[in-house]
């Protein structure tokens, strides 16, 4: 009964916490409203959920997130330099990336990771979920983009999401 009412208790707790942090208060009214939203949002969106999410290697996910934060910072600096340098000729390119991941959740995490990193955007996933179309703002060697995505992002996700 409780599982049907609150299908994702962890997500509900996270939503309530974010609500209270964003509103910068723990007043009873905000706790009540945040609590109602934290229960209703997962309840009404549970049909879209791929099922229960289980990470077989949570430590790898933490390392992955640390690497991602560092890569975002470095990429922000790099893109900033590209923008402020006079007469800089950018070489944008589309890259078709062959996926080794087969989990829809892992593919989504990879696509979002690519889009979060400044200078790259994941544009499309093929209908068979075997390829990802990626736009790179500036690269001379599209193969280096493929190698970097594979070693820095996809390989750790393969480890973290393997059964």
- Which structural domain, as residue segments, surrounds residue 69? 58-161
pLDDT-based confidence at residue 58 (cuts at 50, 70, 90): confident
In a domain, 12, yes or no: yes
Contact predicate 82/90, CB 8 Å? yes
CA distances from 103 to 49, 61, 85, 97 (A): 13, 15, 41, 16
Q: What angle do CA 62, 67, 72 make, to 5 degrees?
A: 125
Residues 6+ apart with CB under 8 A from 103: 161
In a domain, 78, yes or no: yes
User: Strand pairing of 93-98 and 131-136?
Assistant: antiparallel
CA–CA distance, 17 with 34 (Å, rounded to integer): 8
Average pLDDT over residues 61-70: 89
pLDDT-based confidence at residue 23 (cuts at 50, 70, 90): confident
Average pLDDT over residues 118-143: 91
Q: Which residue has the higher pLDDT, 101 or 86?
A: 101
In a domain, 53, yes or no: no
Instruction: Tell me, yes or no, whether 31 and 82 share the same domain.
Output: no
By percentage, how much of the chain surpasses pLDDT 70? 90
pLDDT-based confidence at residue 52 (cuts at 50, 70, 90): low
Please tell me the predicted confidence (pLDDT) of residue 3: 61
Instruction: Tell me, yes or no, whether 136 and 84 share the same domain.
Output: yes
pLDDT-based confidence at residue 83 (cuts at 50, 70, 90): confident
Instruction: Tell me, yes or no, whether 13 and 80 share the same domain.
Output: no
Instruction: Tell me, yes or no, whether 109 and 151 share the same domain.
Output: yes
* pTM greater than 0.75: no
Please tell me the predicted confidence (pLDDT) of residue 98: 94
Contact predicate 63/156, CB 8 Å? yes
Q: Which residue has the higher pLDDT, 50 or 143?
A: 143
Please tell me the predicted confidence (pLDDT) of residue 60: 84
pLDDT at 99 over 90: yes
């Amino acid at each position: 009964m409780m599982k049907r009412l609150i299908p994702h208790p962890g997500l509900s707790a996270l939503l309530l916490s974010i609500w209270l942090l964003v509103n910068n208060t723990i007043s009873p009214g905000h706790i009540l409203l945040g609590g109602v939203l934290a229960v209703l949002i997962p309840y009404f969106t549970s049909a879209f959920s791929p099922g229960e999410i289980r990470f077989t290697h949570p430590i790898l996910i933490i390392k992955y997130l640390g690497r991602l934060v560092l890569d975002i910072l470095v990429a922000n600096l790099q893109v900033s330099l590209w923008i402020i340098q006079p007469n800089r000729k950018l070489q944008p390119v589309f890259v078709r990336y062959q996926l080794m991941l087969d989990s829809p959740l892992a593919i989504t995490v990879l696509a979002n990771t690519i889009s979060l990193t400044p200078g790259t955007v994941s544009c499309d996933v093929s209908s068979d979920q075997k390829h990802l179309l990626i736009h790179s703002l500036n690269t001379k060697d599209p193969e280096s983009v493929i190698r970097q995505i594979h070693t820095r992002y996809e390989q750790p996700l393969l480890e973290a999401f393997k059964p």
